[in-house]
A and B are shown apart, each in its own frame.
Chain A
Amino acid sequence: MTSATEAPKASFRLGMLIYDTRYRSITIQVIALVLLAVVLWWLRDNLVTNLADKGKDINFSFLWTRAGYDIDQQLISYTNDDTHSRALFIGLLNTLAVAFFGCILATIIGVFAGVLRLSKNWIVARLMTVYVEVFRNVPLLLWIILAYTVFTEIMPQVNDFKVTQAMIDSGTPAAASMLFDNTVAISNRGTSVPYPLLTHPLGGFEFLGIPFNFSFIAVVGLFVASIFASRGVTRRAKAVQEATGIRPVTWWKNLALIVLPTTLLFYALGLHWDVPHFNIDENGVWKGFNFVGGISIAHNFTALVIALSLYTGAYIAEAVRAGIMAVSRGQSEAAAALGLRQGRIMSLVVLPQALRVIVPPLISQYLNLTKNTTLGIAVGYLDLKGTLGGITMNQTGRELECMLLMMMIYLILSLLISAMMNVYNATTKLKER
């Protein structure tokens, strides 16, 4: 009786788990899984014991207590009475602001430097090579510090703008003056620019700490709508051109469509500018410590953006150069044979093809730039690292929670950026038939 049940499945032996390729991969994976589980359990166990040992717990409630410190750059309102979570949010916005402007500027610099490095102009090509090599081979931290220092050393002091009694008496002008019809002041403290104010604002509300400003939304919405409208006009002009061979004149329509509605809306809202100025007493003497009115963009922001984009731009320039060199020479020769000028050859023929090669390294450079914004702490820029991972961590002593939260936010940020760029990459990919 027993022989009947044994016979058919005798083929499996234990040794086959190692020797048979069909089963071996499963064996290896199971072993890996067990090992990983053991390591994770060990880490967790240590964490629990250590926390108990130090009398600590994992508790995020500190995020809702008063922060008590000030942040010099705030994109949305914040005072030291707000909570740590609000400070975190301000820091995150500051990180995003640097990353956003940095990426744009780095792309511009990188494309120009990459193209100019292949220029026939000897001195320009050499200068660009020097730029690329110098920036790529010296630590970013040094560039950030240098950029900040250069700003504070070269720009005039706020005091130099001031008109004193002695100056009025002797008729000498102040040592420094404001730009653009006294609306913009660049001092070594920052760039003071006019701030838009509305007489009849549309109001707004705050949701989850994020302010929604109806006036802002209306302006942006209208502007986007007018751009779409103007593109519609262009498209119709193209259709007319294809049908009749005559292209109707559209530039003034486009201009009117883009400019007029927004201008009208601004007028209706009662737009006026809060221009940076000094308080002036009855004798015409400028009083006070600093410009009042307008908003001031601190130099640690500007320096950080410039240093990051110059540094990343050097890498992008290399990617751009490689991309351009990857486009076969026949392409630009053919374009030249068609009678296109140098600039147009570059922008119409070479760059669009080079883009396919350029975009993947570009993505990783954007990611690097975003991660490198953390170096802003070297110039005291209060980004996510400065607020959550700096002052908040210091004041509350919650290093575990703060660091985990910070890592998570950066991770999500990186994943979002690479996801977005991958979508873009998919659209620029060579569509092979």
Chain B
Amino acid sequence: MTQSSMSFVRDKMLTQQKPPVSEVGAVRWVRENLFSSPLNGFLTLISLYVVYWIIASSLPWFLNGVWTANSLGECRQIIEANAGPGAEGACWAILRERWHQFLFGFYPMDAYWRPVLAFGLMLMALAPALYYGLRRVNMLMLGTVSVLTLLGMLGVGTDGFHLLLSVVVFAALFAVAALMPKKLLWLTLVYPLVGFYLLWGGSVWGPVGVAIGFGLLVVVWNKLQSRLGAVVAGGIAVAVALIWWLQVQPMVTTPLAHMMPIRLMSVDSDQFGGFLLSFVIGVTAVSASLPMGLLLALGRRSDMVFIKSVSVVFIEFIRGVPLITMLFTASLLLNYFLPPRSNFDLILRVIILVTFFAAAYIAEVIRGGLAALPKGQSEAADALGLDYWQAQRFIILPQALKISIPGIVSSFIGLFKDTTLVALVGLADPLQGITKMVRADINWKGVYWEPLLFVGVIFFIFCFGMSRYSMYLERKLKTDHR
């Protein structure tokens, strides 16, 4: 008898038991995430009911939807035939017939490729400002933009020549972005003119002349600023450019336009409508308001009492009144304050007033960016002997603007949503303007939900995408001073 046989130590492991049902898999997840306490359980049940109710009350309507019909009456007949009398359903046929008006308004149909191309190029032009991060991500974004734009152009029916041209342009831009990403900044600089030319059309020499003016402005400023200082040199440069634009340019471009008539069909701005109009107003106003907002923000932080008080009054006045009043000012009052019997485009007037409006908000965003910089930065600039403008240009603004980008993007989202208000002054915004016009057609009179849903979904896609992107940027840009 050896002692070993008396061992009390277990020499064989028991097989592992399964954990209790309530602690694994779906059950555990449900218990922990949905029913961890009576209150939580209650909330879960309520939430489930809400979701059920929303689906139950709208699903039949969606399922009964009709895509092919020529009028609301026909829709109703088809729905009754399919789903029995009294059934209700969506009449998507209205979108099938009128989708292009919601997107482009009354833009000439055979020129739909121009806004699409302008939109794609805009995304390309924004690349230096918006696409940070890995080169691979960058290229992926640009590639997606190019392909989507070209597909979009194909979708709206572009003629072969312009399609081919666009393919070449996008390929070239893509190559530039891949090889020397910094050079893409040039596209950003000329984009406003390209975009203008694509959307409004006309002779190519007009935008070229304007570009030459800007070239002059930059050259003069560069030559003079070392001797006269930034402000004086800037004044002289602007004066030279103005002389060019107002006096010399017509004398040069008119003969050129006769000799080499390169032109696109010109489109009046009152033909703009739908989402095209929303984007034109939103993008133009935000980009035009950037310099103004920048100056206002600097003015508000300035030591000069007069400049500061003017900036504060302007910003607070604009932020204190609703956008609607600005729009009505554009439509009703601006005429009173301009030289007698002068008038220009309502859209242009709206853009100007919306620019003022956006400038006040952008100024506050940039001011936030400026305030976020530690004081050491400007003190260091002073210590290096930089003057005010040099300090702003080389030290302060690059940092402040970088951290303001998410704020600027959310200002743009807000403004983009607010462009729906232009319907109140008679412009064809997608939500009310176009919808009202479409509903005035005797065939579609009485259609209610379908256009609203369509417009709402598109707004959501754009705004949600932009806000996600700005959140991503915000994380990326957190190379901060902590």
- List chain A positions with a Cβ less than 8 A from chain B: 18-19, 21, 25, 28-29, 32-33, 36, 43, 46-47, 49-51, 53, 116, 119-124, 127, 133-134, 136-142, 145-146, 149, 367, 371-372, 374-375, 377-378, 385, 389, 399-400, 403, 406-407, 410-411, 413-415
Give 17 pairs: A residue, B residue, CB < 8 Å, sorted on A: A119-B40, A121-B40, A122-B29, A123-B48, A124-B43, A137-B464, A138-B459, A142-B431, A146-B452, A371-B321, A385-B325, A403-B328, A406-B325, A407-B329, A410-B320, A410-B325, A415-B316
B335 with A121: CB separation less than 8 A = no
Indicate if B323 sits at the interface (CB-CB under 8 A): yes
User: A282: shortest Cβ distance to chain B, in Å?
Assistant: 37
- The residue on A at minimum CB distance from B318 is A411
Residues of A within 8 A of B44 (CB): 121, 123-124
With A139-B420, A415-B316 given, can you name 6 additional A-B contacts, CB distance below 8 Å? A18-B229, A47-B336, A124-B47, A127-B47, A371-B322, A406-B325
Residues of A within 8 A of B463 (CB): 136-138
B464 with A133: CB separation less than 8 A = yes
A120 with B40: CB separation less than 8 A = yes
A46 with B323: CB separation less than 8 A = no
Which listed residue (A53, A136, A139, A406) contacts B431, Cβ 8 A?
A: A139
**Closest 3 A-B residue pairs measured CB to CB?**
A137-B463, A122-B33, A414-B320
Tell me the bound Cα distance from A276 to B460 in angstroms. Answer: 42
A121 with B33: CB separation less than 8 A = yes
- The residue on B at minimum CB distance from A378 is B432
Interface string of B436-455 (1 = CB under 8 A from A): 00000000000010001001
Residues of A within 8 A of B232 (CB): 18
Residues of A within 8 A of B432 (CB): 141, 378
B36 with A138: CB separation less than 8 A = no
Residues of A within 8 A of B459 (CB): 137-139, 142
- The residue on A at minimum CB distance from B40 is A121
Which listed residue (A120, A123, A374) contacts B47, Cβ 8 A?
A: A123
Given contacts A18-B232, A49-B340, A403-B333, contact A415 B320 (CB under 8 A): yes
User: A382: shortest Cβ distance to chain B, in Å?
Assistant: 15
- The residue on B at minimum CB distance from A123 is B47
Which listed residue (B51, B317, B339, B424) contacts A46, Cβ 8 A?
A: B339
Given contacts A36-B310, A46-B338, A47-B337, contact A142 B304 (CB under 8 A): no
Q: Give residues of chain B (398-445) contacting chain A, Cβ–Cβ below 8 Å.
A: 413, 417-418, 420-421, 424, 431-432
A121 with B431: CB separation less than 8 A = no
Interface string of B306-350 (1 = CB under 8 A from A): 110010000011011111110011001101111111000000000
Residues of A within 8 A of B338 (CB): 46, 50
- Residue of A49, A121, A410, A413 with most partner-chain B CB within 10 A: A121
Residues of B within 8 A of A122 (CB): 29, 33-34
Indicate if B60 sits at the interface (CB-CB under 8 A): no
- Residue of A138, A375, A399, A410 with most partner-chain B CB within 10 A: A138
- The residue on B at minimum CB distance from A19 is B229
- The tally of CB-CB contacts under 8 A between chains A and B is 150
A121 with B448: CB separation less than 8 A = no
Tell me the bound Cα distance from A414 to B315 in angstroms. Answer: 13
User: A164: shortest Cβ distance to chain B, in Å?
Assistant: 22
Given contacts A141-B421, A149-B448, contact A32 B321 (CB under 8 A): no
- The residue on A at minimum CB distance from B364 is A364
Tell me the bound Cα distance from A146 to B456 in angstroms. Answer: 11
Residues of A within 8 A of B228 (CB): 18
- Residue of B40, B320, B420 with most partner-chain A CB within 10 A: B320
Residues of B within 8 A of A137 (CB): 413, 417, 459-460, 463-464, 467
Tell me the bound Cα distance from A136 to B456 in angstroms. Answer: 12
Which listed residue (B29, B304, B321, B467) contacts A29, Cβ 8 A?
A: B304
Given contacts A46-B339, A53-B340, A123-B34, contact A375 B421 (CB under 8 A): yes
B36 with A120: CB separation less than 8 A = yes
Indicate if B50 sits at the interface (CB-CB under 8 A): yes
User: B468: shortest Cβ distance to chain A, in Å?
Assistant: 9
Indicate if B480 sits at the interface (CB-CB under 8 A): no
B319 with A145: CB separation less than 8 A = no
Given contacts A127-B50, A134-B460, contact A28 B34 (CB under 8 A): no
Which listed residue (B306, B325, B418) contacts A33, Cβ 8 A?
A: B306
- Residue of B34, B51, B328 with most partner-chain A CB within 10 A: B328
Indicate if B110 sits at the interface (CB-CB under 8 A): no
A374 with B324: CB separation less than 8 A = yes
B324 with A120: CB separation less than 8 A = no
Which listed residue (A133, A400, A410, A415) contacts B333, Cβ 8 A?
A: A400
Interface residues of A, dominant DSSP: helix
A25 with B335: CB separation less than 8 A = no
- The residue on B at minimum CB distance from A49 is B340
User: A230: shortest Cβ distance to chain B, in Å?
Assistant: 30
Given contacts A134-B460, A138-B459, A400-B333, contact A411 B340 (CB under 8 A): no
Q: Give residues of chain B (456-475) contacting chain A, Cβ–Cβ below 8 Å.
A: 456, 459-460, 463-464, 467
Residues of B within 8 A of A25 (CB): 303-304
Indicate if B24 sits at the interface (CB-CB under 8 A): no
Indicate if B305 sits at the interface (CB-CB under 8 A): yes
Indicate if B154 sits at the interface (CB-CB under 8 A): no
User: A115: shortest Cβ distance to chain B, in Å?
Assistant: 12
Which listed residue (B29, B229, B321, B413) contacts A410, Cβ 8 A?
A: B321
Indicate if B231 sits at the interface (CB-CB under 8 A): yes
Residues of A within 8 A of B417 (CB): 137-140
A121 with B36: CB separation less than 8 A = yes
Residues of B within 8 A of A134 (CB): 460
Residues of B within 8 A of A53 (CB): 340-341
- The residue on A at minimum CB distance from B462 is A137
Given contacts A28-B307, A124-B43, A410-B325, contact A403 B467 (CB under 8 A): no
Tell me the bound Cα distance from A43 to B323 in angstroms. Answer: 22
Residues of B within 8 A of A415 (CB): 316, 320
Given contacts A122-B34, A139-B417, A142-B420, contact A51 B336 (CB under 8 A): yes
Tell me the bound Cα distance from A21 to B390 in angstroms. Answer: 14
Q: Give residues of chain B (31-47) contacting chain A, Cβ–Cβ below 8 Å.
A: 32-34, 36, 40, 43-44, 47
A32 with B452: CB separation less than 8 A = no
User: B342: shortest Cβ distance to chain A, in Å?
Assistant: 9
- The residue on A at minimum CB distance from B342 is A46
Residues of B within 8 A of A127 (CB): 47, 50-51
User: B470: shortest Cβ distance to chain A, in Å?
Assistant: 12
A400 with B325: CB separation less than 8 A = no
User: A384: shortest Cβ distance to chain B, in Å?
Assistant: 10
Residues of A within 8 A of B33 (CB): 120-123
Residues of B within 8 A of A50 (CB): 335-338, 340
B335 with A136: CB separation less than 8 A = no
Given contacts A46-B339, A136-B467, A374-B324, contact A411 B317 (CB under 8 A): yes
A46 with B431: CB separation less than 8 A = no
B337 with A46: CB separation less than 8 A = yes
- The residue on B at minimum CB distance from A408 is B321
B333 with A46: CB separation less than 8 A = no
Residues of A within 8 A of B43 (CB): 116, 119, 121, 123-124
Tell me the bound Cα distance from A320 to B455 in angstroms. Answer: 30
- The residue on A at minimum CB distance from B36 is A120
Which listed residue (B231, B337, B418) contacts A43, Cβ 8 A?
A: B337
User: B30: shortest Cβ distance to chain A, in Å?
Assistant: 9
A29 with B305: CB separation less than 8 A = yes
Given contacts A19-B229, A29-B305, A124-B43, contact A407 B321 (CB under 8 A): yes
- The residue on B at minimum CB distance from A44 is B337
Tell me the bound Cα distance from A385 to B324 in angstroms. Answer: 9
Residues of B within 8 A of A141 (CB): 420-421, 431-432
